[in-house]
Amino acid sequence: MGFIIIIISIIIVVGYFIKQDLDKKEYEEIMSSYDKASSYSTSDTTSLITMSENDSYSSSGLFSTTTDGGYIINPESSFPLTIYGVDEATIKELINKLDNNESITYIVSGTNLRCKEIDDYVEKFKPHYLKKIEKLKDSSKEWAGAYGKYREDLLIKFRDQAIKTLEIIPSADLDVLFEYEDFTINDDLIDQYGSENLRLYFRYANRFDNVIVISTNHYQQDGFEQLVEVGLAIRGLDIELSDIWSYLKTLSLKEMNALVSDIIEKPFSRKNKAVEFLITVPDIKTRLSKIIALHKLFQLSKLPNEFVGIDLGEIHKTWMYENSIANLISNTYASSISAISSAAFDKEIDCAWEILTMDDDITCKYCKDAALKSYPSNKYPLVPLHIGCRCTVVCK
């Protein structure tokens, strides 16, 4: 059996699609709760495949259109996704990125792209989530008297508790999907700095006053160097010494004393006193550059006055929102491809089937209920069961 599982995993990676005529009546007898999930999903694909029927295969990169201007990507997969707000060229680019396991965040943020399955999920479950948080606040003895960081910590706890009460829980940052909104970035800002630079800039907008350390081989090194080129960041010696004092504290006391050994009468015995003195030394940055790689230090610059009204905090939330949307689309797309590939291979195996959940603290009730059922050999249960589902199918 272990050998079979290994072979199945290899086949999933290779990936092909299978198209089947489905028996909805028999499916409903096996999994009667399907309607609950399909109430927010636009997928018409029934979640059981009849294994005895003839197979037909379709390649990735396919899409179909809807009557209201949308595109259904991979309509032959086990969980098609319906995309709105983009043109055909963008859909083709989107599918190409998904097929090659590349990030689609820049497509999501650079267009008016909407995924109907995600929007439907949010519309259905967001009210319950928000209502539960308010109930937790009202029942909390600590909430009314909590302020600042303590109140933020309580809210994080309430969000986590509210999410766990949802019947269906996608693998996603649900607090971001439920509480953040998309934000249209000023077109003049994009024209001046470029969308790629702005995405990186806004990603770190919550660390605006901090010095960011980017090592030489860091995957975002080129991006930060480009931010410096366009005036959205400063680097190394250009950073004010007062802004890198916390970085100074990472030096050993011996290194600190060595920096100023030629201008002090005796070595410092305490790091705090040494840091206080180092900051006052006029040429300290030049001295520092001899022992530490200041070129690794970056700091975001303020936007010009014409963009002063832009709320960087809100835009950072937008980046998180768009990244969550992109990840949810990518993960669901990949899961549906793997599922249909498994179905194509597993039809040769004569055994009953079961759905295997991740069995962790965010595994939802809907998936757990589906995993309790047994599926006959000629009725293969297709996953994902819902948007962002992580379930797989195994031989029982």
Asked if residue 281 is part of any domain, the answer here is: yes
What is the rounded distance in angstroms from the CA atom of residue 321 to the CA atom of residue 80? 22
- In this structure, the answer to whether residues 80 and 99 fall within a common structural domain is yes
Q: Give the DSSP letter of residue 303.
A: P
Asked if residue 308 is part of any domain, the answer here is: no
Is 384 within 8 Å of 78 (Cβ atoms)? yes
Q: Each residue of 156-209: pLDDT tens digit?
A: 999 999 999 999 999 999 999 999 876 666 667 778 888 788 878 888 877 777
Is 118 within 8 Å of 177 (Cβ atoms)? yes
* pLDDT value of position 26: 35
- In this structure, the answer to whether residues 145 and 36 fall within a common structural domain is yes
Longest dimension (CA), the chain: 90
Asked if residue 134 is part of any domain, the answer here is: yes
- For residue 391 the two structure tokens come to 């379930």
Asked if residue 307 is part of any domain, the answer here is: no
Is 91 within 8 Å of 121 (Cβ atoms)? no
- For residue 236 the two structure tokens come to 């190394």
- In this structure, the answer to whether residues 10 and 66 fall within a common structural domain is yes
Is 109 within 8 Å of 319 (Cβ atoms)? yes
Burial of 222 by CB count in 10 Å (0-12 exposed, 13-18 middle, 19+ buried)?
exposed
- How many domains are there within the chain? 2
Q: Each residue of 136-157: pLDDT tens digit?
A: 999 999 999 999 889 999 999 9
What is the rounded distance in angstroms from the CA atom of residue 109 to the CA atom of residue 323? 8
Instruction: Among 259, 276, 301, identify where a domain stops.
Output: 301
**Cβ neighbours of residue 1 closer than 8 Å, sequence gap 6 or more:** 395
- In this structure, the answer to whether residues 189 and 213 fall within a common structural domain is no
Q: Each residue of 298-338: pLDDT tens digit?
A: 999 988 888 877 777 777 788 889 889 999 999 999 999 88
**Cβ neighbours of residue 271 closer than 8 Å, sequence gap 6 or more:** 249, 253, 256
Q: How far is CA 3 from CA 6, 8, 149, 350, 352, in A?
A: 5, 9, 52, 15, 18
Asked if residue 354 is part of any domain, the answer here is: yes
- In this structure, the answer to whether residues 172 and 140 fall within a common structural domain is yes
* pLDDT value of position 19: 32
Is 357 within 8 Å of 368 (Cβ atoms)? yes
- In this structure, the answer to whether residues 195 and 250 fall within a common structural domain is no
* pLDDT value of position 292: 74
Residue keyed to tokens 């969308």: 195
- Mean of all residue pLDDT scores within the chain: 81
Asked if residue 306 is part of any domain, the answer here is: no
| Whether residue 71 has pLDDT greater than 60 | yes
- In this structure, the answer to whether residues 169 and 29 fall within a common structural domain is yes
pTM of the model: 0.68
Boundaries of domain holding 290: 209-301
- In this structure, the answer to whether residues 286 and 323 fall within a common structural domain is no
- In this structure, the answer to whether residues 267 and 345 fall within a common structural domain is no
* pLDDT value of position 184: 63
Q: Which has the closest alpha carbon to 395: 345, 358, 361?
A: 345
- In this structure, the answer to whether residues 199 and 252 fall within a common structural domain is no
Q: Any idea which of 53-67, 180-194, 282-296, 335-349 has the lowest mean pLDDT?
A: 53-67
- In this structure, the answer to whether residues 248 and 383 fall within a common structural domain is no
Residue 38 CA to its chain's centroid (Å): 24
What is the rounded distance in angstroms from the CA atom of residue 314 to the CA atom of residue 379? 48
- In this structure, the answer to whether residues 218 and 73 fall within a common structural domain is no
**Cβ neighbours of residue 10 closer than 8 Å, sequence gap 6 or more:** none
Q: Each residue of 76-107: pLDDT tens digit?
A: 888 999 999 999 999 999 999 999 999 898 88
Instruction: Among 253, 276, 301, identify where a domain stops.
Output: 301
Asked if residue 221 is part of any domain, the answer here is: yes
